[in-house]
Structure 1
Amino acid sequence: MPRDLTVSIEELPVSGPDAGPYGITTGPDGALWFTMVHHGRIGRMTPGGELSSHQLDPASCGPTVITTGPDGALWFTEYQSHRIGRITTTGEIRSFPLPAPDAGPFGIAAGADGALWFTETGAGRIGRITTEGAVTEFSLPVTGAFPSAIAAGPDDGLWFTMNQANAIGRIGLGGDVAVHPLPTADAAPVGITGGSDGAMWFVEIGAGQIGRIEPGGRIDEFPLPDRAARPHAIVADPHGDHWFTEWGANRIGRITPDGRIDEHELPTPASEPHGIAAGPDGTLWAALETGALARLTPSAPR
């Protein structure tokens, strides 16, 4: 089947340039939910463009990554206030403080055990929070690892990037941790996602590469055409491909399961793409920190 495709891109403004749209996910209601890291707000946009937002307290809490929880609510990390937040699709908000001071929670994902798992960049731990708000923290065997993004794997484990330890970690539901060093020095992995091929795919912001790790620990790396592109976040689409943001190059990239890469320029220069999500309608959506969401619609045979 042909793999070449064209992609139409439309940017929809959702805030002023200083609000900082950052993380994005598709909610259980079929809308796009996103964080505004600098204004402390959670935004919601329907595929048709209807926009609303909800103010968090305090406004300086720094919401970053957001995901759908097993309870039908949206869960997000509050990087600056060291809490985990929850918002229902009707806008009811709760916030749960973390035991570790200066935890710096960043990535968050739903686990196979019905809880949410998250990274603590400042404390160097992995956290687990139940839908009732009970928190457990697990130490990592590497100090100063700066655990960043986290995603559920096909093996019921949670896989996470260790940005400063140059490794990919896996934590089991019982808290056991395995560490897989990366072949490339100073790769600084950030985003990670589960692939339809049974592997985890991740981005190396420092090395300008896309990585793939199998459950057994085998790692493959795929250099980008522009090694200075600063890839930040990555998501799988329903067709088995993986899409990623190139924060430093103002592009959205795609990598196929066999490692073929194509890239697509965003219309607005220096728009700072961060989070990326598969939409409910076969499109891809990226959060642009300069104040918009980008909708990418592949339009050629896949």
Structure 2
Amino acid sequence: MQFDEITVPGKGPYGITAGPDGRMWATLVHDGQIARVGDAVEVFDLDPGCGPAVITPGPDGALWFSRLHDHRIGRITVDGTASSFTVPSPDAGPYGITTGPDGALWFTEMNLDRIGRIDGDGGVHEIPLGLEGCFASTIVTGGDGALWVTLNQADAIARVTVDGEVTTFPLPTEKAAPVGIARGDDGAVWFVEIGAGQIGRITPDGDVTEFPLPDRAARPHAITPDGEGGCWFTEWGASRLGHVGPDGGFEHFAFPAPGSEPHGLAVAPDGSLWVALEIGSVAVLRP
């Protein structure tokens, strides 16, 4: 398997997603910038210390992202015009973000055990998850029309309806520390357990299956569906790309540079897989 690598003129490619313009958009968490990556790379400046982390396409044709360090939610249009919105609670630590089933943007607040909802005008509503110290990490809209959230320090997955009803599903493995989460092609939600070195799958009614990685110290971080019933995931601790099939079978592929620190990943409209490498590049796996 051959990766192409594109150097990004900035520190810390972290989150990445496909934009409505057919290009890939990445956060540069250490430089406070957003990069648009294709045949060429364009970089758009934000506040240097804002810490852009996870990025997602919004329903309005713009890209929305969390600003972890200055506790704001950012928005950038495809022409590079950026704006941001304050999260009402101080030091909230927004991190994961997704477009919800109601057309709003939903995000996690890692420091406050809450999730938030922001509409297109910047109005924010916060929902407590009911577990102290749960460290809500990433969030995705499931096929059932609810929001699904990894609770990293509670070793659990939460399901939250758009009306704010919270149901928590404890994971079978202690110190699982779930982080990345994605809506699978099979109607379930898939997630990674960075602490236990496992990939998990949870059905809409809360049935959990865990698949132990061959290398339990690989530190899986982010996950995305492959369009064929399986998922791709990054192994941050092992500098590898992983793939899990519908039956739990694994494949693993090393990145060319050791210590690449792979984080976010996303599939482009043409089927290529893009991975943000915090060392300063984006890896591309062509179909």
TM range (shorter): over 0.9
- Tell me which of 29, 32, 40 is aligned to 2:24: 32
Alpha-carbon distance, 1:297 to partner? 2.6
Which one-letter code corresponds to 1:255 in the other structure?
V
- Tell me which of 114, 121, 136 is aligned to 1:125: 114
Q: Which residue matches 2:125?
A: 136
CA distance in 1, matches of 2:99, 2:234: 22
SS of the aligned residue for 1:267 comes to coil
Q: Which residue matches 2:5?
A: 11
Q: Which residue matches 1:297?
A: 286
Which one-letter code corresponds to 2:3 in the other structure?
I
Deviations 1:262-293 (A, max 9, x none): 00010011000000101121111100000000
Which one-letter code corresponds to 1:26 in the other structure?
A
CA distance in 1, matches of 2:173, 2:184: 21
Give TM-score scaled by structure 2 length. Answer: 0.99
- Tell me which of 92, 97, 120 is aligned to 2:86: 97
CA distance in 1, matches of 2:49, 2:278: 16
CA distance in 2, matches of 1:93, 1:297: 30
Q: Which moved more, 1:274-283 or 1:157-166?
A: 274-283
Check whether the contact 2:113–2:130 (CA below 8 A) recurs between aligned residues: no
Which one-letter code corresponds to 2:194 in the other structure?
I
Alpha-carbon distance, 1:114 to partner? 0.6
Counting only pairs closer than 5 Å after superposition, residues 1-302 of structure 1 correspond to structure 2 as: 7-16=1-10, 19-46=11-38, 49-57=39-47, 59-298=48-287
Deviations 1:143-202 (A, max 9, x none): 100000101100110101000000001110001111000000000000000001000000
Check whether the contact 1:101–1:123 (CA below 8 A) recurs between aligned residues: no
Give the count of matched residue pairs: 287
SS of the aligned residue for 2:2 comes to strand
CA distance in 1, matches of 2:4, 2:217: 25
Alpha-carbon distance, 1:80 to partner? 0.3
Alpha-carbon distance, 1:31 to partner? 0.3
Superposed CA RMSD: 0.8
Deviations 1:107-166 (A, max 9, x none): 000011010000000111000000111000000111100000101100110101000000
CA distance in 2, matches of 1:186, 1:197: 27
SS of the aligned residue for 1:269 comes to coil
Alpha-carbon distance, 1:238 to partner? 1.8
Q: What is the percent sequence identity of the aligned residues?
A: 58
Q: Which moved more, 1:157-166 or 1:235-244?
A: 235-244
CA distance in 2, matches of 1:87, 1:161: 26
Structure of higher RCO (CA pairs closer than 8 Å, 6+ residues apart): 1
SS of the aligned residue for 1:8 comes to coil
Structure 2 runs not aligned, ≥5 long: none
The runs of at least 4 consecutive aligned structure 1 residues that moved more than 2 Å come to none
Structure 1 runs not aligned, ≥5 long: 1-6
CA distance in 2, matches of 1:20, 1:185: 31
